[in-house]
Amino acid sequence: MSKHDDPTDDASTAEPAPDTTGKTGAIALDNLNKTYDPEGEHVVAVEDMDLDVAAEEFVALLGPSGCGKSTVLECIAGYLEPTEGEVVVDGTPVTDPDPKRGVVFQENRLFPWKTIKENVEFGPRMHEGVEEGRAESILDEMGLDGFEDAYPSELSGGMQQRAELARLLANDPAIMLMDEPFSALDALTKEIMQKKLLEVWERDNRTVLFITHDVEEAILLADRVAIMTARPGQIKDVIDVDIDRPRDPEVVTTDRFTELRERALSVIREEAERALEQEDGA
């Protein structure tokens, strides 16, 4: 499958990928720093963060809100320029957004002035061209058949999020950057979406960086869970999730899952206590 790794696609991707397997979509955060300086303030959102995500790996980035998760994701997406350090994807430093790195946020960013089908076909239209019937089949897979000609405002929140995922998949990115994509959904819709995502990922093997503040969601979905410290964000610990795939939401009842969850929670608790002490000291 083409994942924008076609050498004729873009001259800038002609550099050799360091990944010897020939897979694409490896992300390396190299001493990433990001500070915000809104009028007089000085907010260090991310400080000296290192993280390697292998090509086709599913990594969850877990952390309390305000710890800098979205900042990291926006640096990888190419929306924000790091204050120091860099993001390297397949050996090339990130400078701008690229269709190879698809993004989904909690609040959908579907174009409200385009129909669902036009939204889904937008990416392909920007490069190789629209393949007849492809949007329909992806929408069908997402359970959105019959809504091709609807505008996003006519859909429920869950359906909008599915349409957003359809738009991302139609663009066939090597990397999917997902910022709490399901946190605004009700429990049932959330579970359906998690299942869909696992299904799609296990089939296509893209790299996924999935941000969440939900411990169970992180363990259910990811190969590895990277836990962040409180702001300024850094990686506190990385937990390997050695639960067989394909997984489905039932694994949350297994002993191994419970063990991993307890481990993750103890790291988070430790971090929360440290953050509190820090606040007291300040």
Q: Which residues are near other proteins by CB under 8 A?
A: 77-79, 96-99, 101-103, 105, 107, 109, 111-114, 122-123, 126-127, 151-153, 167, 171
Q: Counting contacts by CB under 5 A, is residue 212 touching Mg ion?
A: no
By beta-carbon proximity to other proteins, the closer residue of 73 and 264 is: 73
**In the set 13, 70, 207, 212, which binds Mg ion (CB under 5 A)?**
70
Q: Counting contacts by CB under 5 A, is residue 71 touching Mg ion?
A: no
By beta-carbon proximity to ligand ADP, the closer residue of 41 and 244 is: 41
Reading the block at residue 229, the tokens are 């410290």
* Smallest gap from residue 20 Cβ to other proteins (A): 28
* Smallest gap from residue 261 Cβ to ligand ADP (A): 20
* Smallest gap from residue 138 Cβ to ligand ADP (A): 28
Site for ligand ADP in 59-98 (CB under 6 A): 63, 65-71
Name which of Mg ion, ligand ADP, other proteins, none residue 157 binds, using a CB cut-off of 5 to 8 Å depending on partner kind.
Answer: none
Backbone angles phi, psi at 239, to 5 degrees: -110, 130
First vs last C-alpha separation in the chain: 53
Reading the block at residue 151, the tokens are 């505008």
Q: Counting contacts by CB under 6 A, is residue 137 touching ligand ADP?
A: no
* Smallest gap from residue 229 Cβ to ligand ADP (A): 11
